[in-house]
Amino acid sequence: MKFKLTNRDKIRELINIFDILKKFNDIITFNFNKYGVQSQSMDTSHVSLFELSIKCEWFDEYILKNDTVVSIKMNDLIKILSVYDKYESLTVSYILEEDDSVNIIFENYEKNDSPPVLVPAVKKRRKKIENENIDQEMNKLTEKMSEITIKKANETISFVLNPVEVECEILGIPEEEYSTVVEMSSNKFTDVLKQLSIFDTDIFNINVSYNNETIEFNTYSDHCKETKIILSNDILDKFEINSDININLSFKFINMCISNKITDKIRISINPNQPINIKYLFKQNYIDLVCFIAPKIDDDDTS
């Protein structure tokens, strides 16, 4: 297995995703197949779960001979990836038959090997080739460009990371239709959590009002009996509601699943007495990241 990223924005995006995953468990298992990479894990208390899928087309290079499963300590991986901002490309490879280790390479390239801009060259010559075949000219220019776009690394740093042997079971999660679906900016929801975390609290309450078309976020603590934030549908990107809902969750796990560094928007889907679904809405349809959080059950409900 080998994949490569040559775009700093993509490298940063991958690291931000890994930052979320490490909050669930220090050891995460990744499954590589011809479609891409998938991962799933629960936290140690089995209250929350994430599902990740990245299509192979998202990577700048993706090579796979056989389906591969590898488990990695996320704290070690994040430490290695923290050097990304100094380099232009990231390559990760794992070949079980040769050496049971994960190889991670960062590279920089010589500045004078940068490819030329093709479009201006075409514009300058367009008047001269009015009576010629445009496609042929484009092919000639592209061939000339390809001869000088081979980049030579002038700075490389590599790491060899030992994988971890763990047993991992993939849970089947059925498709659900949700009675309430809310979409909002991840910045907005992050701000909501910051304001509600002023006082130590473990209970995070979501109260959806069908008649008022509002969603309330509440926390309770010994220092402050109640902190409440109400959002109406006109400031939400999407608000579909079919019934009233009142659900209690652990504030710790809600806080764990939210990051405004990954995507601009998130979708929160809710059903009564079922795990809520928090989905990151990526601009391109290559990455799918969903978090599930089980509701808190009152003692009265178990009696």
Same domain for 137 and 66 = no
Same domain for 140 and 229 = no
Residue 291 resides in a domain = yes
Give pLDDT, residue 79: 94
Same domain for 231 and 98 = no
Tell me, what CATH number does 11's domain have? Answer: 3.10.150.10
Residue 130's domain spans which residues? Answer: 115-146
Give pLDDT, residue 140: 52
Residue 174 resides in a domain = no
Tokens in use for 128?
């001269």
Residue 173 resides in a domain = no
Give pLDDT, residue 24: 95
pLDDT by position in tens, the chain (length 303): 999 999 999 999 999 999 999 999 999 999 999 999 999 999 999 999 999 999 999 999 999 999 999 999 999 999 999 888 888 899 999 977 667 899 999 999 876 544 444 444 444 444 444 445 555 655 554 444 433 344 566 889 999 999 999 887 788 888 889 999 999 999 999 999 999 988 888 899 999 998 889 999 999 887 788 889 999 988 899 999 999 999 999 999 999 888 889 999 999 999 999 999 999 999 989 999 999 999 987 655 544
Residue 184 resides in a domain = yes
Residue 171 resides in a domain = no
Same domain for 273 and 220 = yes
Tokens in use for 63?
């090579």
Q: How are strands ordered across the β-sheet holding 36-42?
A: 68-73, 27-33, 36-42, 48-55, 287-293, 276-281, 265-270, 180-185, 238-241
Same domain for 157 and 24 = yes
Q: Among the three residues 128, 161, 194, which one is the final residue of a domain in this structure?
A: 161
Q: How far apart are CA 46 and CA 24, in angstroms?
A: 9
List phi, psi (to 5°) of 47. Answer: -95, -35
Strands 36-42 and 27-33: antiparallel
Same domain for 215 and 131 = no
Give bridge partners of residue 268 from the DSSP assignment: 182, 278
Residue 170 resides in a domain = no
Same domain for 126 and 104 = no
Tokens in use for 273?
């007495």
Residue 224 resides in a domain = yes
Q: How many other CB atoms sit within 10 Å of the CB of residue 239?
A: 19
Residue 169 resides in a domain = no
Q: How far is CA 142 from CA 111, 117, 126, 152, 200, in A?
A: 20, 10, 15, 20, 61
Give pLDDT, residue 265: 96
Same domain for 122 and 95 = no
Give the DSSP letter string of 100-159: EEEEEEEEEE-GGGPPPPHHHHHHHHTGGGTTS-HHHHHHHHHHHHHTT----EEEEEEE
Same domain for 77 and 96 = yes
Q: How far apart are CA 140 and CA 238, in angstroms?
A: 49
Nearest to 114 by CA among 153, 150, 155, 75: 150
Same domain for 70 and 30 = yes
Same domain for 198 and 281 = yes
Give the number of domains in the chain: 3
Same domain for 140 and 50 = no
Give pLDDT, residue 150: 46
279, 186 contact by CB (below 8 A): no
